[in-house]
Amino acid sequence: MIRLIGYFFGIGAVMFLIVAAGVAWYIGDVSKDLPDYEVLNSYEPPVTTRVHAASGELMAEYARERRLFLPIQAIPDRVKAAFLSAEDKNFYSHPGVDPIGLARAIVVNIQNLGSGRRPVGASTITQQVAKNFLLSADQTIDRKVKEAILSFRIEQAYSKDRILELYLNEIFFGQNAYGIAGAALTYFNKSVNELTIAETAYLAALPKAPSNYHPFRHPDRAIERRNWVIDRMVENGYVTATDGASAKNQPLGVSVRKTGSYLFASEFFAEEVRREMIDRYGKDALYEGGLSVRTTLDPKLQALARKALQKGLVTYDERRGFRGPVERIDVSGDWGALLADVDPLRDVPEWTLAVVLSATNDTVDVGLRPGREETGAVETQRHTGSILAEDMKWAYRLNITGDKRRNVKSAAEVLNPGDVVYVEAYDKGGESRLRLRQPPKVQGALVAMDPHTGRVLAMVGGFSYAQSEFNRATQAERQPGSAFKPFIYAAALDNGYTPASVVLDAPIEIVSGGEIWKPKNYGGGSAGPSTLRLGIEKSRNLMTVRLAKDMGMSLVAEYAERFGLYDKMLPVLAMSLGSGETTVMRMVSAYSVLANGGKQIKPSLIDRIQDRYGKTIFKHEERSCDACVATAWLSQDEPEVVDTREQVLDPMTSYQITSMMEGVVTRGTAASKVNLGRPTAGKTGTTNDEKDAWFVGYTPDLVTGVFIGFDNPTPMGRGSTGGALAAPVFNEFMLAALEGTRPVDFRIPDGMKLIAINRKTGMQANPGEPDVIMEAFKPGTGPSDVYSVIGLEDYATGEAITNISPQANQAVVTGSGGLY
C-alpha cells in the first residue's frame, strides 16, 4: 500500500513539475512582448483646453476627450470610497490581483455556464490600469495573463495612490467625459468637491458600462446600479446607513453640460480665439493639450456690443418691411411637436419661435415653441399668446418679393395660420406683450479695443452666430470709404501741412488708360477753397483727391501700410477715397494708433496662455518692468514700464487729427448722431450706392468701430450712410460702456500752440472776427500769412489731370468714385 502511494505521489510530482514547467514556459513566452509599464511615469492624457474671459469666467472648452486632470490629493475621500466600493474594495491590500475576488468570479462563471450571460470579471483597479494604458480590450486568456503580470509589476513600481490617480483620471464615463473631474462637470456641472453621496455613487457606477446606465435612456438601470454602489459604501463603512438610505431616495439629478461657448454673447469671440490657437499651436495642442487661455474679452462690454449692433441691424431691417414667415407648419393637429422641430436662433434667447394659430385685422394669436426634456421628448405643456396690431405695424410693409414692396392695412394680411415667426416678449406698463420680429438680412460687426494695449475688449461678428458663423469683424474685407480719410490727412499733417492748409473743393477729372474718372462729393456740389479741418469734418471727396495728388499716393500708401490697414496698398488716387478693402479689426487697430499718441499696437484677443502645468507659454504684454518684481517697498522709486513699441506717427500729428475728428462729431457728418457728453473723435464712411456704412471713433481710452452692410455687397438705399446707420450703433454702445466713468480730455502734447484762425480762410483771425476756431499747430508752424490754395492751378487751367498710373483705371472700374 505504501509502495502504491509512493508510486502515485511520484507520478503526481512529475505531473506537477511538467505543468509547472509548462506554466513557466507559457508565462515566459507571454512576457517576452509585454509593453513597458514605465511609460506610466510620463502619463500625459488628452486634457480639455479651457478659454476664459478677462474676468475669469469660463468662455469655452475644446477637447476630443473631456478630461481635467486631478492629482490624487485633490480627489475627496468620498469619491475614492465610491470607486473602491464599486470596483475593488481590497485595492489597498492586494498585490495587484485579488485572489478572493478571482475565486468568487470563477464560481459565479461556473454557475452561469449555459445561461448566455456575459462572464463576470475580477479585474482589480490595477489590472484595469494595465489594460487601459498598456493592453487591448480583447477577451482572451493571453490578455488576462499579460494583465496580471503587468499588475504585479506596476504594484512594485508605483504607490497605490499613484495607481488610483491614473485610474480615476483615465476611465471613460460616457458623454465624451473622461476622468472623474470631467465626469463631474459633464453630468452635474460640479467640481468633485461638490458631489453628493448619490452623485458620487452614480459616477462610480458608470465605468462598468456607461451606455447601460444612461441617465435618460435607461434611468431605472442607472438608479439600480447607483443604489448598489451606495449599499457597498455602507457595507464597507464609508457611509452611514442613514446617509445611504437618504441618498438612495434621491433622483439621479443629471443635467448634462452643454459643449461650446458658455459665456453669453461670446460665440464670435470664442471662435476667433479657437482659430488663432490652431494657427499658433495646432489642433492637437488645442484639443488635447489642456491649455488655459485667458482672453481679453470684457463680458459686460461684449453684451452691450451685441445689444447695440443687433438693435441697429433690426431697426434698418424692419424699415425695409416683412419678408414672410420662417417656415410653415400644419396647425390642425399637435402644432407643438412640429414647432419644436424648427431650430431657433439659440444665441438670441430674447426671441422665441411661434406659430400663428389665427389672425384677425387687429390681433394674431400664436402658439409658442415648447422646449425639450433632457430625454429629447417635447414638453407636453403648450403656451400661447397674442401679437397686437401696434406691435407689428412695421410688418404692414410687405417685402416678400424683394424690391416689389406693397403696404397692407391689417394683421390678417401679413400673417396666416401655420406661419412660423419670431416673437419677443416685453413689458408695457406692467402688461406682458409680444412683438413680431424677423432675423435681419443685413449684417454688421463691432469691435471695441483698448488703444493703449491693443486688447480687444468686445467683438461681435454679425447678428447671430447661430444664423451665420462668418465673422464680419475679422473675415469680411470691405471698402472703408471715407473712414480711410483720417490716414490721408494724418500723412499730410506729418509732412508739412497744417489743419489750416487750404485745398480746393471743386470738380476734378482724372484721365487714366483712356478712362475718365470724375469723383464727386456725396450729394454733389462743392464748397470751393476749404481748410483740411473742414475737409474732414464734411468728408469732402474732391478735396481729399487733390490733397492725395499733391502729396503723392506713394506717401499715402506708406502710411496706410504703417498703420496696418493694408499689407500692400496700390498707390493710385482712387484708393484715397477708401476703395481698398480691409477689415473692421484692422480699422479699429489703426484708429487706436491715432488715439494713443501714435504708438504701434498689436491687436490681441489673448492675454496669456498657460500649459497644463501652469507654465506661461505666451503673453501679449511685451513691455518690460524689471522693478515690478520687488518683494518689498524700501523707499525705492516707482517702477517704470519700458515701452519699446514703434512710434509710427508724431504724437503732435496724432493730436491734430484727433482734434479735427472731434469736429466730425460736433459739426460734421456725425453731428447729432454721436453725443457721449465727453471728448469724442471719429469718422463716418459710406461707399458707392451705400453698400458699406462705417463709423470708427474713440475717446482717450476706448476705440470702437462699427460696420453695416449686406454680405453680398448690395445697395442699402439712399441715405443709408455711416452717419445714419453705423454712428447710432457706436453712440449706443459707447454711452453704455462708459456709463459711470469720468470724462477725460485728449492729451495735448507739450509744445503745441493753440492759435485762433478763420475757419474758412485758414489764416490767423483778428480780434472780434466771426467764425473762429482754435487750431493746434506744431512748433515752428502756424497759419499762413498768404492765402494759398492747393489744387487751384489745375482748376484754373481747366485741364484734366493726366499722367496718372494706368493702374488707377482698375480702381475706377471697381467703383471707387464718389465714396463718402
Task: Write the pLDDT tens digit of every residue in 86-127.
Answer: 988 888 888 877 777 666 666 665 655 655 555 555 688 888
The torsion angles phi and psi of 395, rounded to 5 degrees, stand at -80, -5
pLDDT of residue 19: 59
Across residues 490-507, what is the average pLDDT?
94
pLDDT of residue 120: 53
Rounded Cα distance, 372 and 741, in Å: 43
The grid coordinates listed for 663 are: 469736429
Residue 553 has pLDDT above 60, yes or no: yes
pLDDT of residue 429: 87
What are the pLDDT digits (tens) for 648-707? 999 999 999 999 999 999 999 999 999 999 999 999 999 999 999 999 999 999 999 999
Across residues 547-566, what is the average pLDDT?
95
Q: Which burial class, exposed, middle or buried, applies to 650 when counting CB atoms under 10 A from its CB (0-12, 13-18, 19+)?
A: middle
**Residue 87 falls in the annotated catalytic set:** yes
If you ran DSSP here, which 8-state letter would residue 723 be given?
Answer: I
Residue type, position 588, single letter: V
Tell me how far the alpha carbon of residue 327 is from its chain's centroid: 29
- Please identify which of the residues 61, 85, 87, 604 carries the catalytic annotation: 87
CA proximity to 581, closest of 268, 806, 814, 272: 814
What are the pLDDT digits (tens) for 3-48? 666 665 666 666 666 655 555 554 554 555 666 667 677 788 899 9
What are the pLDDT digits (tens) for 439-475? 999 999 999 999 999 999 999 999 999 999 999 999 9
Sequence-separated (6 or more) residues with CB below 8 Å from residue 337: 378
Sign of CA dihedral 342, 345, 347, 349: negative
Strand 49-52 relative to strand 292-295, pairing: parallel
pLDDT of residue 679: 97
Strand partners, 705: 447, 696
Residue 509 parent element (H or E) = none
**Residue 266 falls in the annotated catalytic set:** no
CB atoms within 10 A of CB 248: 17
pLDDT of residue 810: 34
CA dihedral angle for residue 613, residue 614, residue 616, residue 620, rounded to 10 degrees: 130
Sequence-separated (6 or more) residues with CB below 8 Å from residue 665: 671, 674, 675, 680, 681, 682, 697
**pTM of the predicted structure, to 2 decimals:** 0.88
Question: For residues 482 and 521, is the Cβ–Cβ distance under 8 A?
Answer: no
Residue 171 parent element (H or E) = none
The grid coordinates listed for 348 are: 438670441
Cα separation values, 670 from 311, 365, 538, Å: 19, 42, 9
pLDDT of residue 729: 98
> HEC states along 278-319?
HHHHCHHHHHHECCEEEECCCHHHHHHHHHHHHHHHHHHHHH
pLDDT of residue 640: 81
Sequence-separated (6 or more) residues with CB below 8 Å from residue 60: 50, 51, 260, 261, 262, 263, 266, 270, 273, 274
The SS3 of residue 764 is strand
Residue 307 has pLDDT above 80, yes or no: yes
pLDDT of residue 819: 42
Across residues 319-347, what is the average pLDDT?
93
CA proximity to 258, closest of 426, 501, 66: 66
Rounded Cα distance, 477 and 577, in Å: 16
Long-range contacts of 56-60 (CB under 8 A, 24+ apart): 56/294, 57/262, 57/263, 57/299, 58/262, 58/263, 59/261, 59/262, 59/263, 59/266, 59/269, 59/270, 59/273, 59/295, 59/297, 60/260, 60/261, 60/262, 60/263, 60/266, 60/270, 60/273, 60/274
- Please identify which of the residues 123, 151, 482, 530 carries the catalytic annotation: 482
**R_g (Cα) of the chain, nearest Å:** 36
Among 422-426, 446-450, 480-484, 572-576, name the one with the lowest average pLDDT. Answer: 572-576
Strand order in the sheet with 789-790: 528-531, 502-505, 789-790
CA proximity to 716, closest of 443, 478, 332: 443
